[in-house]
């Protein structure tokens, strides 16, 4: 019992400590709290003799991802996003097409090297359109083994890290060789990259209360329709849909602290899923996973650039929408500073939130479609 309590304390407190540590060390952009949480969980499982309880880990894995999705989606403003510049919406649509096509082609290429390749493709499509929470949500929805989810996360972190270095170094010059310059006034002065809205305890209680209601309604409807709750995918998709619906209400969309709370739950999730990882599996399958994830990412970026060239999307908009889909809102400010165009920060954040909103549905649909043909 004491070991379980200590394990729970690690899951709840360690994310806060790691987030503070990475901020003070200035490593958030290359050694993020998410990566640190994965490392901690894996280290506890493989490098210590601490008696981890898999039931506790799995309870936190299932619970945190279901609660995090609504909290991340409440601040989505779909109607506001549709009022953005047409080039931003078009560029993000082209990114979605690029990712879906690349994931499908890569699945065919690696169909004999990796089992369950259709599920892996759906998960990668989800993360390259939305973000880390979508990969994990789609993996759970599809019933993928936790060790496989961990390996794919690790592979994506390796590939995504290299692309982020490219984005923040030579990418503006390189993409500028193929795409036209941004047409419009650039904001280059100092500003806050992401909105830092204060929040009250009452707002957090409201957000969590609403989240619990949406989860309960989703579970109840699925049980009523199917007679069981074994299909986690249906619950996750319904929760996602209801959360997007809730975001249309301004009072809900403006609740403070919802996105930050969702991010914190994802850090807890990262430690919990790391606690279920077996190093032997990671070492035996990791190389092929990295090659697969890298192929999907490289093809997606290549096709996205080609399509943007055809539709005459400018370089800055292409880079921002690529960042929004592949990395999500937190990295928009950093990349906007590199391209010296902070006028795209708002549209980039909005696009990243829309990506999180739609990625679960696209990932599950793609995996189901590929399963019929591969």
pTM over 0.85: no
Reported as a single tens digit per residue, the pLDDT across 181-204 is 887 655 544 444 344 456 788 888
Task: Please tell me the distance from the alpha carbon of residue 208 to that of residue 81, in angstroms, as a whole number.
Answer: 25
| pLDDT value of position 188 | 45
| 231 pLDDT more than 90 | no
Which tokens in the block code for residue 311? 């539709």
Reported as a single tens digit per residue, the pLDDT across 1-21 is 788 889 999 999 999 998 888
| Beta-carbon contacts of residue 251 (< 8 Å; ≥ 6 apart) | none
DSSP line for 186-226? ---S---SS------HHHHHHHHHHHHHHHHHHHHHHHHHH
What is the arithmetic mean of pLDDT over 247-275?
Answer: 87
What is the arithmetic mean of pLDDT over 190-219?
Answer: 77
Say what percent of the chain tops pLDDT 70: 91
Give yes or no for a contact between 323 and 50, defined as CB atoms under 8 angstroms apart: no
Give yes or no for a contact between 159 and 106, defined as CB atoms under 8 angstroms apart: no
Task: Please tell me the distance from the alpha carbon of residue 60 to that of residue 369, in angstroms, as a whole number.
Answer: 30
| 284 pLDDT more than 70 | no
Beta-carbon count within 10 A of 95 CB: 26
| pLDDT value of position 259 | 84
| pLDDT value of position 209 | 94
What is the arithmetic mean of pLDDT over 133-157?
Answer: 87
In terms of C-beta distances under 8 Å and separation of at least 24 residues, what long-range contacts does 115-118 make, across chains too?
A: 116/144, 116/148, 117/292, 117/370, 117/374, 118/366, 118/367, 118/368, 118/370, 118/371, 118/374
159 or 98: which carries more pLDDT confidence? 98
Rounded to the nearest 10 degrees, how much is the dihedral formed by the CA atoms of 153, 193, 354, 255? 110
Give yes or no for a contact between 60 and 11, defined as CB atoms under 8 angstroms apart: yes
Reported as a single tens digit per residue, the pLDDT across 27-84 is 665 567 877 888 888 888 888 888 888 889 888 988 888 898 899 889 888 887 877 7
Annotate 336-358 with b (16+ C-beta within 10 A) or e (fewer): bbebebbebbbbbbbbbbbbbbb
| 128 pLDDT more than 90 | yes
Give yes or no for a contact between 137 and 69, defined as CB atoms under 8 angstroms apart: yes
Rounded mean pLDDT of the chain? 85
**364 three-state secondary structure:** helix
């Amino acid at each position: 019992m004491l070991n379980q309590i200590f394990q729970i304390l690690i899951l709840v407190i360690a994310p806060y400590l790691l987030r503070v540590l990475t901020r003070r060390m200035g490593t958030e952009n290359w050694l993020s709290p998410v990566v640190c949480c994965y490392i901690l969980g894996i280290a506890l499982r493989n490098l210590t003799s601490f008696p981890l309880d898999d039931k506790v880990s799995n309870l936190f894995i299932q619970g945190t991802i279901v609660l995090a999705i609504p909290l991340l989606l409440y601040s989505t403003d779909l109607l506001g996003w549709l009022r953005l510049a047409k080039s931003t919406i078009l560029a993000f649509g082209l990114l979605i097409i690029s990712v879906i096509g690349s994931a499908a082609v890569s699945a065919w290429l690696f169909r004999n090297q990796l089992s369950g390749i259709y599920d892996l493709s759906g998960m990668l499509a989800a993360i390259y359109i939305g973000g880390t929470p979508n990969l994990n949500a789609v993996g759970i929805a599809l019933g993928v083994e936790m060790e496989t989810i961990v390996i794919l996360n690790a592979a994506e972190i390796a590939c995504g890290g290299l692309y982020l270095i490219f984005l923040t170094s030579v990418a503006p010059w390189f993409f500028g060789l193929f795409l036209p310059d941004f047409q419009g006034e650039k904001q280059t002065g100092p500003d806050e990259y992401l909105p830092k809205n204060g929040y009250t305890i009452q707002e957090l209680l409201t957000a969590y209360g609403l989240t619990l209601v949406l989860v309960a309604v989703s579970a109840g409807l699925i049980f009523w329709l199917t007679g069981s709750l074994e299909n986690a995918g249906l619950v996750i998709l319904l929760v996602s849909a209801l959360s997007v619906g809730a975001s249309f209400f301004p009072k809900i969309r403006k609740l403070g602290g919802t996105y930050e709370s969702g991010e914190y739950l994802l850090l807890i999730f990262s430690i919990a899923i790391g606690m279920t990882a077996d190093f032997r599996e990671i070492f035996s399958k990791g190389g092929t996973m990295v090659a697969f994830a890298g192929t999907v990412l490289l093809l997606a970026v290549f096709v996205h650039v080609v399509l943007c060239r055809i539709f005459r999307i400018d370089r800055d908009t292409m880079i921002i929408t690529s960042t929004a889909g592949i990395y999500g809102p937190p990295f928009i400010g950093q990349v906007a500073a590199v391209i010296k165009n902070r006028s795209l920060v708002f549209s980039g954040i909005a696009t990243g939130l829309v990506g999180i909103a739609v990625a679960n549905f696209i990932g599950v649909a793609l995996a189901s479609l590929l399963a019929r043909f591969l």
